[in-house]
Structure 1
């Protein structure tokens, strides 16, 4: 039997550690050398392995299933990961498109690849103008799918589109999937970009969306995402600390609804941990690290380090040192709010 993770190692980022012998059994954390970065789930993993071998079939089946079942958040996440893989190994996507040029799934993947390519170029705005037909083709291929509209929202941000046009795209996106997390994140990023420094408006948008969403929806994590944008932006006036704590509390409540070491929620929990550390809530951060288990994600740790896994492990050590002495025991600490830590601590 083929070892899936062994095949993935040359292409993705897997386990590495800054301290191979570091163990954290008393804190309820896996050892450093057990932590993986951006580990794929049991559906994405085989698709990446097959793509590495030049076959698009598993990726096609995976994306077709998300479309048939209307699992739009999964579809969005898988498209992003497959496109990231295809940036350095595009042959399987080219073969797929040649075999099925009207397939909604390969059209969406090609549009994502084109946006990614344009985004990393100094000529972003000019390149993005040429991407519009690909996004339109993906949207027309399946009118139910909100993911092309998330791409359109990203495209509007990159091309500095006005608020009226962006609002039209937003209405089209939420009409298809009112709770699609990717579209909400794209809208939040647009607001943060076009209202630079006006974080209160971003938090208002995130709070309204979360208030209208079910308790188990990923949209409940949107205010914490807005808080992270604020904290990453050097803070500034206009946002009371209570709002940041309330945003973190909402995401903590969402996290508690999912099992420990759940890959689906790993990205939310990694970002939430970063927010809790910035707020000096060491006990709550340690609890999220327990729930994260071995599943680190590149973002948000890549924002402050070229080695996101190494940065994640550093933060784990820091949180364990700060939280454990106050608790004096290995059990789960009560969730309490410490004083807000200064940014220079991190």
Structure 2
């Protein structure tokens, strides 16, 4: 049974208040060895084959995640494969032509359609037109929460009302009560619907994290709420009483506790650790940021650094230098993680 803390979205309450080769852990990587958005060892062969026009490895990979109910990895792989297909669609077109009812191909195709629509000024109208693709993907495997994560993202972009979104949310958490992607989609919807109501976003994220297992990525959901706050023209101590500094630190602490439970120096948890490093730098918690940089190894991710710069890799490297200088008690410039984020469509 799904716990009420994970199920209940704030807007339905009676009232609301306003693997690649392993890298040694601990040895800093030279700048030219740092990798941006590196695929893990399972995804990499699928991307290499897709570049040759062969969809077979991608099909095998997604089938394996579905059979094993590896929903978090499946979600990540679908997103990355769809991103690859934006510039190299031939392999996906061939896959859909060969197996038009394949739930894995349908899901990648639906993700690609949503991504393309999201880039358009006519976003809401175009997103409504791709609804049948998401419906078809959702019918492919009734256990799979990933089409429902996609439906939640779609609903936000199409400016769907709260009642419809809540129906999608209930369907998503019935399938996987602690699916990280669905929780992130819900958090984004809340932030979009109630722009500036950071306390509500933190409340939702904290309830979900408290209800999730210790090793679940949902433990990092409050970190996403903290990131939203810190990139909404707010600083750790100067955006009013809505979110006290203690709540930002608690969100970071929860993610710090999660980090050692995930593989060190590995592409899979790099996105979470990069986000954690970003938040720790904004909070000027330099020793903690240095430890997460050590656990992260050579893996930079576009998100969150693309919110501050058009050169996310370069920005990551500069922030890494700041962390080293501050941790060594040397004079350091102010953290380069600028106030205020930009609405980048790559992360919707």
| Aligned equivalents of 1:200, 1:156: Cα separation in 2 | 22
Task: Indicate if the aligned counterparts of 2:34 and 2:298 stay in contact, CA closer than 8 A.
Answer: yes
| Aligned equivalents of 1:319, 1:53: Cα separation in 2 | 40
Q: 1:198-256 deviations in whole A, cap 9, x for unaligned? A: 00000000000000011111000000111001101112331000000000000000002
Q: Which residue of 2 aligns with 1:43?
A: 42
| Aligned equivalents of 2:170, 2:328: Cα separation in 1 | 47
Q: Which residue of 1 aligns with 2:322?
A: 318
Task: Indicate if the aligned counterparts of 1:227 and 1:244 stay in contact, CA closer than 8 A.
Answer: yes
Q: Which residue of 2 aligns with 1:286?
A: 290
Give the unaligned 5+ runs of structure 2: 1-18, 341-348
Q: Which residue of 2 aligns with 1:246?
A: 250
Give the C-alpha shift of residue 162 in structure 1.
1.1
| Aligned equivalents of 2:231, 2:265: Cα separation in 1 | 26
Counterpart mapping for 1:266-281 below 5 A:
266-281=270-285
> What CA RMSD, in Å, does the superposition of the two structures yield over aligned residues?
1.9
| Aligned equivalents of 2:89, 2:335: Cα separation in 1 | 44
Q: 1:257 to 1:30 in 2, by over 3 A?
A: same
Counterpart mapping for 1:109-128 below 5 A:
109-128=108-127
| Aligned equivalents of 1:316, 1:342: Cα separation in 2 | 10
Task: Indicate if the aligned counterparts of 2:319 and 2:337 stay in contact, CA closer than 8 A.
Answer: no
| Aligned equivalents of 2:45, 2:285: Cα separation in 1 | 38
Q: 1:345 to 1:60 in 2, by over 3 A?
A: closer
| Aligned equivalents of 2:263, 2:148: Cα separation in 1 | 31
Give the C-alpha shift of residue 345 in structure 1.
8.8
Give the C-alpha shift of residue 257 in structure 1.
1.7
- 2:56 paired with 1:57: yes
Give the C-alpha shift of residue 141 in structure 1.
1.2
- 2:162 paired with 1:174: no
Task: Indicate if the aligned counterparts of 1:279 and 1:341 stay in contact, CA closer than 8 A.
Answer: no
| Aligned equivalents of 1:343, 1:136: Cα separation in 2 | 39
Give the C-alpha shift of residue 343 in structure 1.
7.0
| Aligned equivalents of 2:282, 2:191: Cα separation in 1 | 19
| Aligned equivalents of 2:261, 2:195: Cα separation in 1 | 33
Give the C-alpha shift of residue 49 in structure 1.
0.4
Name which structure has the greater RCO, CA cutoff 8 Å, separation 6+. Answer: 2
| Aligned equivalents of 1:198, 1:44: Cα separation in 2 | 37
Q: 1:252-289 deviations in whole A, cap 9, x for unaligned? A: 00002223202221110000000000001011001100
Q: 1:35-68 deviations in whole A, cap 9, x for unaligned? A: 0001111110000000000000000000000000
Q: Which residue of 1 aligns with 2:186?
A: 187
- Secondary structure of the equivalent of 2:308? coil
| Aligned equivalents of 1:345, 1:142: Cα separation in 2 | 42
Count of residues in correspondence between the two structures: 310
Give the C-alpha shift of residue 28 in structure 1.
3.9
Give TM-score scaled by structure 1 length. 0.87
| Aligned equivalents of 1:57, 1:342: Cα separation in 2 | 43
Counterpart mapping for 1:1-346 below 5 A:
28-235=27-234, 236-237=239-240, 238-325=242-329
Give TM-score scaled by structure 2 length. 0.86
